Amino acid sequence: MSWLAAIGAATLAFLASIGRIAIFAGETLSHLFRPPFYFKEFGQQVLQVGYFSLPVVGLTTIFTGGALALQIYAGGARFNAEAVVPQIVAIGMVRELGPVLVGLMIAARVTSSIAAEIATMKVTEQIDALVTLSTHPMKYLTVPRVLAAFLVVPFLTGVGDVIGIMGGFLVATKTLGFNEAAYLQNTADFLQSSDIFSSLAKGAVFGVIAALMGCYYGMHSGRGAQGVGAATKASVQAAAILILAANFIFTGIFFAA
User: pLDDT by residue (tens digit) across 44-68?
Assistant: 999 989 889 999 999 999 999 999 9
At 152 the pLDDT is 95
193-216 pLDDT tens trace: 888 999 999 999 999 999 999 999
**What does the domain layout of the chain look like in residue ranges?**
2-250
Q: Determine contact, residues 85/176, Cβ cutoff 8 Å.
A: yes
Q: What percent of the chain has pLDDT over 70?
A: 100
In this structure, is the dihedral angle defined by the CA atoms of residues 36, 39, 40 and 43, taken in order, positive or negative? Answer: positive
One-letter amino acid at 89 equals: V
The answer on pLDDT for 82 being more than 80 is: no
Most confident of 7-16, 24-33, 161-170: 161-170
One-letter amino acid at 183 equals: Y
Give the mean pLDDT of 38-47. 90
Residues contacting residue 75 through CB under 8 Å, at least 6 positions apart: none
- Rounded (5°) CA angle 65-249-32: 95
Q: Determine contact, residues 64/97, Cβ cutoff 8 Å.
A: yes
Rounded to 10 degrees, the C-alpha dihedral 121/127/129/131 comes to: 170
The answer on pLDDT for 123 being more than 90 is: no
- Rounded (5°) CA angle 108-198-84: 95
The answer on pLDDT for 257 being more than 70 is: no
